[in-house]
Chain A
Amino acid sequence: MSGNTTTDKAITIRNLVVDYGPRRILNGINLEIPNGQIMVIMGQSGAGKSTLLRCILGLKKPTSGSIHMLGTDIATASRTDIYKARKQIGVAFQGGALFSSMTVAENIQLALHEHTNLDEKTIQIMTRIKLDMVNMLEAENLMPSELSGGMAKRAALARAIIMDPKLLFFDEPSSGLDPSTAAELDQLILTLKKGMGMTIVVVTHELDSIFKIADHIAVMKDGNLIETGTPQQIIASTNPEIQGMLNRKPRETIVDTDAHLRRLTGGF
């Protein structure tokens, strides 16, 4: 399942600008995503990660700049060309985005029924292969409402890879998951990269996950790409904003309860 590649970059983004009215959301992003590797786009809420992802997926036309993805300039391509490019990509959305009226298997098969003329038996076997990859074979007949958060994410991943995409996008894979389930999902992402040769773009702010899976990291802040590099380069960065993000600590455990109560009530 590792398709041929003609260039060493799956995605090349040049001078990407997105304005919403008077607000500049992305401010001249330049980014290259190498083939067959995992690129993590990190940054806090409001950094512009989701807008960047929407632009790459062709869901948002940028104000200016270019995005070359698997040979297509997404920023200027026609709807037909964007549609063709989309057939080569898989997207696992944050909340799973499974259709609630369909079983897990039906959700996963949807693209095959829509875009191919494969025999029903082939479709069934492909579905079960993908369910097995995400360790959910036993859940094929469950409805989305019967799934835990981790299972819904894995089902969304199975749906995203059903057509063996060259490029997989994963939006916040670990958010809302307990540490052990998040670690399982990280491992699964690594396995997909190794076994299927996929280029994987993960958008997240979960530090634990980032340093487990990333080959490259792009750090965003306030619509700007403030640093790119390998995990080692990012850790060694002297940029105080990067260090601020990396050293972010959980909220302090309350030690002085009286002081905290006073802070909340104003001490009346």
Chain B
Amino acid sequence: MECNVTSESGFDLIKLSGEVDLQFSPQLREKILGCLKAGHPLLIDLAKVSYIDSSGIASLVEGFQTAKTSKLQYGLLNISSTAMQVLTLTRLDKIFDLYSSTDQFKQKLQ
């Protein structure tokens, strides 16, 4: 898994690629919670995720709950069909805010 964090105007963007599994999800969790602790809205790009297991999904869920508590915007961008299948199975597709472009997320911040 690769996990790159960049600061955009008004929010942080995490770009994920590869396989998010038991081995790498702790790293993802740390990055997500780090951005939120700093008080930054967060967008997570999943376009290049080829596989995500339930530990990865759990990290996304924990981030969502943390963002909600901290009243920060939090969204998932470019969900791959693999990731979408898992979100649908776990009924989380209805819970997360899903975006197809960073501009959509920026509009939400305004």
Evaluate whether A118 and B54 lie within 8 angstroms (CB atoms) in the complex, with A195-B85, A195-B86, A196-B89 already known.
no
Whether B22 contacts A119 by the Cβ 8 Å rule is: no
Q: Known contacts A117-B26, A129-B90, A133-B90; is A164 also within 8 Å of B54 by CB?
A: yes
Chain A interface bracket (under 10, 10 to 19, 20 to 34, 35 or more): 20 to 34
**Other CB < 8 Å A-B pairs besides A118-B22, A118-B55, 6 of them?**
A1-B86, A4-B51, A129-B54, A133-B90, A194-B89, A197-B85
| A3 close to B (CB within 8 Å) | yes
A132, CB-defined interface residue at 8 Å: yes
The proximity string for B residues 70-93 relative to A, scoring 1 for CB distances below 8 Å and 0 otherwise, is 000000000000100110111100
Q: List 14 A-B contacts (CB under 8 A).
A: A2-B82, A3-B51, A4-B51, A118-B26, A121-B62, A122-B25, A122-B55, A125-B61, A132-B91, A162-B54, A164-B22, A164-B54, A164-B55, A195-B89
Query: Of all chain B residues, which has the CB nearest A161?
Result: B54
> In the complex, A191 Cα to B91 Cα: how many Å?
12
Q: Is the CB of B22 within 8 A of A4?
A: no
Kindly supply a per-residue 1/0 record for chain A positions 1-45, scoring 1 wherever the CB is within 8 Å of any chain B CB and 0 otherwise.
111100000000000000000000000000000000000000000
User: Hey, which chain B residues are within 8 Å of A2, CB to CB?
Assistant: 51, 82, 85
Residues of chain A with a CB closer than 8 A to B42's CB: none
A122 near B82 with CB under 8 A, answer: no
Q: Complex formed: what's the CA distance from A117 to B82 in Å?
A: 25
For the complex, what is the distance from the CA of A118 to the CA of B58, rounded to whole Å? 11
Most buried by B among A1, A118, A123, A194: A1
Which residue in chain A gives the minimum CB-CB distance to B88?
A195
Contacts of B59 in A (CB 8 A): 122
